[in-house]
């Protein structure tokens, strides 16, 4: 009954941690494509090829349902995968929709026409590939009207986090927040549109100030997954065991993951 969680690297662990707490009886298989991270500077074809290879490995590990805990893959590859690649008995879901439903005050699967919502000025922080896909703005436009979105492509932050250089990551986050503020001086909400960024959430909040509400995905995705599995219990795959797979150096990736989650995590070669 395993469920797969995929990211290019360590960022998806923020989602994994939340889904493990929300669904303690479900075994999760986590896949970090560390050899190819970051995805955020790659083109859409490349992201599609890497993401489908990783998801295939999670299907092999007994997962019928895979969550792309990676906004870059969700933005650049998910729709193409769902349209022609995902086998009929499997499901691949992204992390955008739960976030946008929270931002636009909608409950799961509410597909009513777009309407006015409380937030008016939204700052989006994401990778260069996610920003250039405009997937966030597209999904938002299905649900809300009159929302001004200013996006900041946060080059370098994922690399710094993957390298464990949190001093550089903090400096980069502060400079990206400054750059965003030059374009939108007073956002009322900020979206952390990359699953690596919750690891820097305190820095984003501090740089943005207390009046800006920061939305990050982990808990929203966990709630949405619990709801989905409640409605589709058959999507718990045949795999009986959770685990951690990486295309990178298992020892190095395990060290990074253990540091972030503050518990022992052991990755194996994928």
Per-position x/- string for 165-204, each x denoting binding to ligand DGL as judged by CB under 6 A, each - no binding: -----------------------------xxx--------
> Is 154 designated active site?
no
- Nearer of residues 1 and 54 to ligand DGL, judged by Cβ: 54
Q: Judge whether 63 counts as a catalytic residue.
A: no
Cβ 132 vs Cβ 157: under 8 Å? no
Q: Which residues pair with 122 in a beta bridge?
A: 149, 189
Q: How far is the CB of 113 from ligand DGL (least distance, A)?
A: 29
The gap from C-alpha 193 to its chain's centroid, in whole angstroms, comes to 7
Binding mask 10-49 for ligand DGL (x = CB under 6 A): -x-------------------------xxxx---------
Alpha helices in 9-133 (DSSP H): 13-22, 44-60, 71-76, 78-84, 96-103, 128-133
Q: What does the angle CA 19 – CA 243 – CA 8 come to, to the nearest 5 degrees?
A: 70
CA dihedral 52, 57, 60, 62 (to 10 degrees): -100
Residue of 119, 158, 194, 212 marked active site = 194
Query: Interaction with ligand DGL in 52-111: which residues (CB under 6 A)?
Result: 70-72
Q: Could you tell me the smallest distance in angstroms from the CB atom of residue 70 to ligand DGL?
A: 4
The binding site for ligand DGL (CB under 6 A) comprises: 7-9, 11, 37-40, 70-72, 127, 130, 158, 194-196
């Amino acid at each position: 009954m395993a469920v797969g969680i995929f990211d290019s690297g360590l960022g998806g662990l923020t989602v994994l941690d939340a889904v493990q707490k929300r669904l303690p009886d479900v075994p999760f298989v986590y896949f970090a494509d560390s050899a190819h991270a970051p995805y955020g500077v790659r083109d859409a074809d490349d992201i599609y090829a890497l993401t489908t290879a990783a998801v295939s490995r999670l299907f092999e590990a007994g997962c019928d349902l895979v969550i792309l805990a990676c906004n870059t893959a969700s933005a650049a590859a998910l729709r193409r995968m769902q349209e022609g690649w995902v086998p009929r008995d499997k499901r691949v879901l992204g992390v955008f929709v739960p976030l946008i439903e929270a931002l636009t005050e909608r409950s799961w699967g509410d597909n009513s026409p777009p309407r006015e919502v409380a937030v008016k000025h939204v700052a989006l922080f994401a990778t260069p590939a996610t920003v250039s896909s405009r997937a966030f703005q597209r999904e938002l436009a299905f649900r809300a009207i009159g929302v001004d979105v200013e996006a900041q492509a946060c080059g370098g932050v994922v690399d710094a986090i993957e390298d464990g250089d949190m001093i550089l990551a903090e400096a980069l986050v502060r400079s990206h927040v400054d750059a965003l503020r030059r374009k939108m001086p007073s956002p009322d909400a900020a979206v952390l549109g990359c699953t690596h960024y919750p690891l820097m959430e305190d820095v984003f909040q501090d740089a943005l100030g207390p009046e800006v509400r920061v939305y990050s995905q982990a808990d929203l995705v966990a709630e949405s997954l619990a709801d989905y599995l409640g409605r589709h219990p058959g999507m718990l795959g045949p795999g009986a065991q959770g685990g951690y797979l990486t295309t990178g150096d298992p020892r190095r990736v395990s060290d990074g993951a253990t540091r972030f989650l503050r518990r022992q995590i052991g990755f194996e070669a994928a």
